């Protein structure tokens, strides 16, 4: 089930905007979670060595987003400012939030005789350098010490001339907290509230949290032999499915894979999408898949499903109508009302003692789709057709 934040984000997107406001939206979501439970972020920062919260632990914090400032020769707007004003002394933490975009100024050309950019205007320097300089200016006004942290999918501090710029100006390197570390901390915390949990789910849904980033967990390391065996077993099973599909359902849209091409298709489904199986589209807007796939709870099952881009709403409505008219629910089919999946049926691998039993189950589910007219519906959902044409295809079936 998508997170609450995912639904809010879809409503917040302006279709006429020049860019998707994911970064600004995520910043506001983080700010909301901090206001309710600041201790969780402080603990995550401390665990990453990005910020020492000892002097502010337990103190009330004000959280400000997109705070405009005008230090000499510059104009900046830190994404997040955390301010502890009482009791004395005060303290601030500035957090620069990145979800995909680079730091401004990180790609400036390196001048061999001026790598630190001492002759450049402040606005041409790395974004983090500008913020660090602004913090020194702000402290000269009020005496409040300030820290700077980068919150991003990957450590961008090595980009460009940041180290040279900071060293030449006797400024410290900002701290760094990855989104993945924050998400893992949320998952491991028994005190994480609903909003933090929803934020972690949202970050994964929007691919801000990269499951491929280091470190490699103990679970991932010990599962390598199992993953290898599972892949080889399922690849052999796919060869049997493909051969039986050619015999029993030769007219499936796109056709089954040629034997010499099948190993690459199965490998690609695993390395690119985390599934092991066979995908068929035949140039239509609907994709048929059969094989192994993981559910949201992480459990892997055999699955037969049809998928499509959610923006083609008539395809979902048409597929659901055909499935309901054919009574597919009695065969275990479940209709999906959001995401890319239109309908799917799943079974636990332990239910099949032999490969032949698994193949027969999958072919039986293909029989269901054929009987319901869904393969024909897929065939007529031609890429390039609009939703009105897709509706016509269903109405003609009636």
Q: For residue 21, what pLDDT is reported?
A: 76
Strand, coil or helix: 241:
helix
The sign one gets for the Cα dihedral 283, 286, 291, 292 is positive
137 phi and psi angles, rounded to 5 deg: -65, -45
Strand, coil or helix: 18:
coil
Show the tokens assigned to 64.
């400000």
Strand, coil or helix: 246:
helix
Please state, in angstroms and as integers, the Cα–Cα distance from residue 259 to each residue in 52, 254, 359, 365, following that order: 59, 15, 17, 22
Burial 105-138 (b: 16+ CB within 10 A, else e): bbeeeeeeeeebbeeeebeebbbbbbbbbbbeeb
Q: For residue 390, what pLDDT is reported?
A: 43
Q: For residue 4, what pLDDT is reported?
A: 53
The sign one gets for the Cα dihedral 390, 396, 397, 398 is positive
Residue with tokens 């490998």: 267
Contact 275, 289 (CB under 8 A): yes
Show the tokens assigned to 394.
């269903």
Torsion angle in degrees (nearest 10) through CA of 152, 157, 159, 161: 150
Please tell me the distance from the alpha carbon of residue 223 to that of residue 22, in angstroms, as a whole number: 34
Please tell me the distance from the alpha carbon of residue 355 to that of residue 293, in angstroms, as a whole number: 17
Closest CA relative to residue 391, chosen from 316, 307, 314: 314
Beta bridge partners of 83: 62, 92
Please name the helix (run of DSSP H) or strand (run of DSSP E) that holds residue 199, with its range, or none: helix 194-205
> Beta-strand (E) ranges in the chain?
62-65, 80-84, 91-97, 146-152, 175-178, 276-280, 286-294, 300-308, 334-335, 341-347
How many residues does this entry show for the chain?
398
Beta bridge partners of 81: 64, 94
How many CB atoms within 10 Å of residue 365?
Answer: 23
Q: For residue 393, what pLDDT is reported?
A: 42
Can you give the pLDDT of all 398 residues of the chain as single tens digits?
A: 556 565 556 546 554 444 457 888 899 999 999 999 999 999 999 999 999 998 888 889 999 999 999 999 999 999 999 999 866 678 999 999 998 888 888 878 778 888 888 888 898 899 999 999 999 999 999 999 999 999 998 888 887 789 999 999 999 999 999 999 999 899 888 888 899 999 998 888 877 886 665 566 677 777 888 888 989 999 999 999 999 999 999 988 878 999 889 999 899 888 887 889 999 987 889 999 999 998 766 689 999 999 998 888 899 999 999 999 999 999 999 999 988 899 999 999 999 999 999 999 999 999 999 999 999 999 998 866 444 444 444 333 33
């Amino acid at each position: 089930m998508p997170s609450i934040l995912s639904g809010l984000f879809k409503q917040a997107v302006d279709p006429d905007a020049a860019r998707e406001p994911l970064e600004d939206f995520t910043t506001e979501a983080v700010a909301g979670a901090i206001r309710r439970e600041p201790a969780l972020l402080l603990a995550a920062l401390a665990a990453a060595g990005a910020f020492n919260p000892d002097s502010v632990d337990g103190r009330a914090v004000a959280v400000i987003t997109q705070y405009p400032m005008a230090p000499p020769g510059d104009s900046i707007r830190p994404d997040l400012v955390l301010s502890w004003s009482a009791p004395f002394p005060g303290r601030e933490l500035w957090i620069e939030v990145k979800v995909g975009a680079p730091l401004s100024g990180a790609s400036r050309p390196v001048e061999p005789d001026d790598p630190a950019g001492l002759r450049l205007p402040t606005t041409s320097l790395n974004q983090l350098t500008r913020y660090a300089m602004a913090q020194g200016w702000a402290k000269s006004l009020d005496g409040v010490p300030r820290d700077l942290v980068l919150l991003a999918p990957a450590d961008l501090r090595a980009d460009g001339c940041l180290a040279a710029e900071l060293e030449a100006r006797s400024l410290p390197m900002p701290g760094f907290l990855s989104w993945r570390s924050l998400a893992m901390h949320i998952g491991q915390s028994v005190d994480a509230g609903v909003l933090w949990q929803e934020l972690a789910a949202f970050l994964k849904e929007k691919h801000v949290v990269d499951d491929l980033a280091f470190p490699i967990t103990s679970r991932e390391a010990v599962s390598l032999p199992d993953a290898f065996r599972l892949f080889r077993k399922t690849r052999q099973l796919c060869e049997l499915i493909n051969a039986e599909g050619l015999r029993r359902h030769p007219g499936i849209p796109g056709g089954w894979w040629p034997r010499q091409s099948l190993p690459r298709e199965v490998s690609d489904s695993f390395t690119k999408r985390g599934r092991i199986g066979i995908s068929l589209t035949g140039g239509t807007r609907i994709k048929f898949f059969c094989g192994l796939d993981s559910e949201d709870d992480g459990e892997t099952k055999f699955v037969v499903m049809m998928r499509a881009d959610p923006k083609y709403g008539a395809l979902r409505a048409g597929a659901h109508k055909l499935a309901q008219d054919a009574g597919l629910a009695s065969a275990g089919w479940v209709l999906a009302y959001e995401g890319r999946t239109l309908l799917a049926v799943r079974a636990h691998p332990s239910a099949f003692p032999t490969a032949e039993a698994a193949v027969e189950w999958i072919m039986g589910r293909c029989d269901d789709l054929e009987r319901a007219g869904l393969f024909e519906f897929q065939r007529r959902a031609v890429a390039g057709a609009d939703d009105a044409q897709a509706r016509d295809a269903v109405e003609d079936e009636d």
